[in-house]
């Protein structure tokens, strides 16, 4: 199993991967996706963390899918971890969720819109679990040092990961400023590029977020080239049928080829 505390390991030049469905839609779906990715990452020797949100709190429309039930989804995440011997990561949205989710997963993720919420960061730090903080679409990479400082103040031993997911570009698009990656890396923490959410097209008139999944490989290659420690990729057997964020997901059958190419990029720059 990956040691989250030492995931940025100078002796291991390979990037690590956080990947899985946007939301836990069911037990069979989660286990099948995890098994598929584990098979690929073990062959390529890519450290892997399974990602799945137990609940989606940030939805545009009132009738959007939010989850199958907190405890049910969290138990599925625990089963994925136990079955395949891999760490798992999930989002939390309010302070009281931190302790609950920490009973089931290895990494607590702070959504981008909530990265400045002091009590949420503090609650996550108190659990002793690793905390992955997504950079707000409205912040520079340099600003994320304050999120790291908040967590370290509460728990100096808490492993912190910072993830870039693009910056707002007008009302309905995002753009990636790759200067943010080395900027955040200077804080001494592993830095991840979210290759799928950075391609979202939010605030669509339909109330459903759009995306540009054809550019996932472009975002990922550039991130590896500038020194990202890890990549975040949401994936699904059939993104068109995904209950959340399908518009910017990578089809699962494309993941293996993409990772093979990214490994070659990594090898070329070390």
Domain-wise residue ranges, the chain: 13-269
CB 121 within 8 A of CB 149: no
pLDDT(42) > 50: yes
CB-based contacts of 151, cutoff 8 Å, min separation 6: 121, 122, 124, 125, 131, 133, 158, 160
What is the model's pLDDT at position 57?
Answer: 75
- Choices 1.10.150.20, 3.30.420.40, 3.20.20.70, 2.40.50.180: CATH for 13-269: 3.20.20.70
How far apart, in Å, are the Cα atoms of 166 and each of 170, 186, 200? Answer: 12, 18, 9
pTM of the entire structure? Answer: 0.92
State the pLDDT at residue 7: 63
* Confidence label for 203 from pLDDT (cuts 50, 70 and 90): low
DSSP 8-state class, residue 15: -
Q: Does residue 240 contact residue 253 with C-beta atoms inside 8 Å?
A: no
Query: Do you know the residue count of the chain?
Result: 270
Tell whether the torsion through CA atoms of 217, 223, 224 and 228 is positive or negative.
negative
pLDDT at position 63: 66
3-state secondary structure of 248: helix
pLDDT surpassing 50 at residue 2 = no
């Amino acid at each position: 199993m990956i040691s989250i505390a030492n995931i940025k390991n100078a002796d291991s030049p390979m990037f690590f991967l956080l990947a899985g469905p946007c939301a836990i839609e069911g037990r069979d779906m989660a286990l099948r996706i995890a098994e598929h990715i584990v098979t690929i990452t073990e062959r390529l020797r890519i450290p892997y963390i399974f990602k799945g949100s137990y609940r989606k709190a940030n939805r545009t429309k009132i009738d959007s899918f939010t989850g199958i039930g907190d405890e049910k989804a969290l138990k599925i995440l625990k089963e994925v971890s136990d079955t395949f011997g891999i760490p798992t990561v999930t989002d939390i949205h309010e302070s009281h969720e931190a302790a609950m989710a920490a009973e089931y997963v290895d990494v607590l993720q702070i959504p981008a819109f909530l990265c400045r919420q002091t009590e949420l960061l503090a609650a996550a730090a108190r659990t002793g679990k690793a905390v992955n903080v997504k950079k707000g679409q409205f912040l520079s990479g340099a600003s994320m040092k304050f999120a790291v400082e908040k967590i370290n103040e509460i728990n100096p031993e808490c492993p912190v990961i910072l993830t870039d997911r693009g910056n707002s570009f007008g009302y309905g698009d995002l753009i990636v400023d790759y200067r943010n990656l080395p900027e955040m890396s200077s804080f001494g923490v592993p830095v991840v590029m979210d290759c799928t959410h950075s391609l979202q097209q939010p605030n669509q008139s339909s109330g459903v977020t759009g995306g540009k999944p054809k550019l996932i490989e472009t975002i990922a290659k550039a991130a590896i080239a500038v020194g990202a420690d890890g990549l975040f990729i949401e994936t699904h057997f059939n993104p068109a049928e995904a209950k959340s964020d399908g518009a910017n997901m990578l089809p699962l059958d494309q993941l293996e080829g993409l990772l093979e190419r990214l490994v070659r990029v990594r090898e070329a720059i070390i």
